[in-house]
Amino acid sequence: MKRVVVLFAALALLPAGGAQAAHAPNDPYYSKQWGLKRIDAAAAWHRSEGKGVIVAVLDTGVSPHEDLPTRMTGWDAINNRSGANDVDIHGTHVAGIIAAARNNGRGIAGVAPKAKVLPVRVCEPNHCPAAWAGLIWAADHGAQVINMSLGPEMMAGAVLGAADPFEVYAAARGAVVVASAGNEGEPVCGHPGLTTICVGALDKVGGLAGFSNYGAAIDVVAPGVDIVSTIPWGYGSLSGTSMAAPFVSGVAALLIEMGATNVQAASIIMATAEDRGLPGYDHTYGWGVVDAKAAVDLCAQICP
């Protein structure tokens, strides 16, 4: 969950219907969402918006927000009680990247704007003592996609490169598990790749962000620099692999709505990624940059 903050501010809500392309959503900050454009999300929405897909956000919680109408009550795994309001800004920011409402004249649009956000509070601002308990809870309570924008340095008992039994359990329950690679700039992914999609961060010019981890366990990369999203009192911009992972979780939700299994969704995301770096798989970009349009187009052909 360690993050790099490039810009942070509560952005005043603009009136709906500003100067935008006729085909673009009327969300005021859509023009600032370079990440959506980079993964070609708008071209994917004619096939799927992730409607009804439950995406668990394991994080600092998710606060109620005008742009997150599908936020569910969730669970506080630290205190073992219902409700998971954000004790920081991180979880709310991650949730908006995944599922902020589209074309509602407010804020931003999410990758899967009709997905349901299931907040699971597993983190304090600088530590995630309940990550594994939250992962099990999410898997047992209907999560179809589980986003873990938190690195192993945040989690008790994490073992780099090992197929963690908790993540294997969630995958066995049918969830797509997506995790951030970590922000140490080191050649290691913060989560195992066997059952988890490990995501590095892409910068605005198409290279690997300087802070992003990489290495043999990286699966794909996604936008992770200066990402505008929801925060508890408005909108703000953050950077980190924590911001890259929810782009992939959003695409997974698009595919699940179309009928993909968790295994199919993960395979499609990697198979359709836009190749970067050396031809084919490499240790910098994995299979490449996640591509929402290519993913849903392939799913339309092969998913149930």
* Catalytic residue IDs: 59, 90, 242
- CA 265 to chain CA mean position, Å: 14
Work out the number of other CB atoms within 10 angstroms of the CB of residue 192.
Answer: 20
CA dihedral for 41, 231, 68, 30, sign (positive or negative): negative
Q: Following DSSP, what letter does each residue of 179-211 receive, concatenated? A: EE--SS--SS-SS-SSSEEEEEEE-TTSSBPTT
**Beta-carbon contacts of residue 301 (< 8 Å; ≥ 6 apart):** none
What CA dihedral angle connects 105, 61, 296 and 193, to 10 degrees?
150
- Strand-pair partners of 117: 55, 71
CA distances (Å), origin 257, targets 45, 142, 158, 176, 300? 12, 14, 31, 13, 11
Q: Annotate 163-180 with b (16+ C-beta within 10 A) or e (fewer).
A: ebebbebbbebebbbbbb
How far is the C-alpha of 250 from the C-alpha of 123, rounded, in Å? Answer: 21
CA distances (Å), origin 39, targets 15, 229, 248, 291? 26, 16, 10, 5
**Beta-carbon contacts of residue 39 (< 8 Å; ≥ 6 apart):** 111, 222, 223, 247, 251, 289, 290, 291, 292
How far is the C-alpha of 80 from the C-alpha of 26, rounded, in Å? Answer: 39
